[in-house]
Amino acid sequence: MSESLLSVDAALANLLAAAQPISAHETCSAEAALGRVLATSLVAAVTVPPLDNAAMDGYALRLPDWSASAWLPISQRIPAGTLGTELQPGTAARIFTGAPVPPGADCVVMQEDCEVDAGRVRISAAPRAGSHIRRAGEDIRAGQTVLEAGTRLGPPQLGVAASVGATEFAVVRRLKAALFFTGDELVLPGRPLPPGRIYNSNRATLVALLSRLGVEVIDLGLVPDRLDATVATLERAAQAADVVITSGGVSVGEEDHVKAAVEKLGRVEMWKVAMKPGKPLVYGRVGGADFLGLPGNPVSAFVVFCLFVRPFLLRRMGTEAQPAAAFTVPAGFDWPKPGKRREFLRARLQDGWAMLYPNQSSGVLTSLAWADGLVDVEAGASVANGDPVRFIPLSELL
């Protein structure tokens, strides 16, 4: 293996070290905040729950009033959203899930353990102090930081924010990514396909991946395989965006002009990773923008994006990508020939075993549509059927 090839781990570490978080922020409504990153921490103005409340439908009582034979008069009815009065000794209160527990009551008994007759209740199972009561503030206390700056707002986080009454947030402004593609063989879907041409699948894949992250995409389309056209588009992209992402033209062929264009306008800081698929990954700077050059083969572009570009972009957005929750499963395949590069094989779990797609070519995009994960094989390793392998679910990479 050439010394010029960086390991996967070293390449990712270099990229993350180069990623500078955006400092500018803006105000965003809760309705538009999905996927945005908090610029400032969210502090609760209220306590959740605000009062002790019933965890289920049943009856509230004083523990000393219970006996297996005692019939307690039902002195009040407390639906959710209403306040009861102080519970008088020797009585019980009909109470519903979420309703505040009346002063004086120290337990709630679920209705399945109760017998009701003529306005009285008898409780068969011995209650315990505090049973079926959700205590005030057991989730959140007023003044508590509930979401730290740098948190990416997903459905659970937005639910937490709503529970403390937040309607808008200070969020990091959207990251802008300019995207263009090189390759005279490429045609956009919807147009006639001349002989020798192929449809550009990478545009659909990468736009979807970027949109899923909440990145603002500036789509500059297809660029002819000429150095002057590549330089002009790259210069325009770097002026418009925080990050420029390309697909294709980053290898060493006579028609590969992207790396040369980056060197003409800026600098290349990283090139080539010891991985398969996806060796020709380029990172550099053009003006004030980061540049990330992905391979043109569709599987390579997808894998490189997931393993490198996604965590880089998340750090630029002011948050962090959590390490992929990989786990070990038995291999349902043989991979007998050790490779010189770390390999990421498209696989699917079947009955707990990792099964490979039969064609692992980097041009076979159907392998990704079929797969639900990647098998991570270290450089120089071989795999026999039944060996433990590291499986990375695709859900952890999207």
Q: How far apart (Å, rounded) are the C-alpha atoms in residues 355 and 66?
A: 60
Q: Could you identify the residue written with the tokens 């433990």?
A: 388
Which DSSP string do the residues of 21-65 spell out, in sequence order? PP--EEEEEGGG-TT-BBSS-EE-SS-BSSS-EESSSEEEE-GGG
Residue 203 parent element (H or E): helix 201-213
Name the burial class of residue 119, with classes exposed (0-12), middle (13-18) and buried (19+) by CB atoms within 10 angstroms of its CB: exposed
pLDDT averaged per 10 residues, the chain (length 398): 77 95 95 95 97 98 95 98 96 98 97 96 94 97 97 96 96 97 87 91 95 95 91 96 90 71 94 92 96 94 96 95 90 94 97 97 95 96 97 94
Picking from 332, 339, 347, the residue whose alpha carbon sits closest to that of residue 387 is 332
SS3 content of the chain, % helix, strand, coil (to 5): 25, 30, 45
Q: Could you identify the residue written with the tokens 């990508």?
A: 321
pLDDT value at position 253? Answer: 54
Residue-wise pLDDT for 290-339, tens only, equals 999 999 899 999 999 999 999 999 999 999 888 888 999 999 999 998 98
Query: pTM for the full model?
Result: 0.89
Contacts of 302 (CB under 8 A, 6+ apart): 205, 209, 365, 368
Cis peptide bond upstream of 277, omega within 30: yes
pLDDT value at position 255? Answer: 57
* Strand ranges, E, within 216-338: 216-223, 243-247, 267-271, 275-276, 282-286, 289-294, 327-330
Measure CA of the first residue to CA of the last residue in the chain; give whole Å.
30
Residue-wise pLDDT for 19-58, tens only, equals 999 999 999 999 999 999 999 999 999 999 999 999 999 9
pLDDT value at position 19? Answer: 96
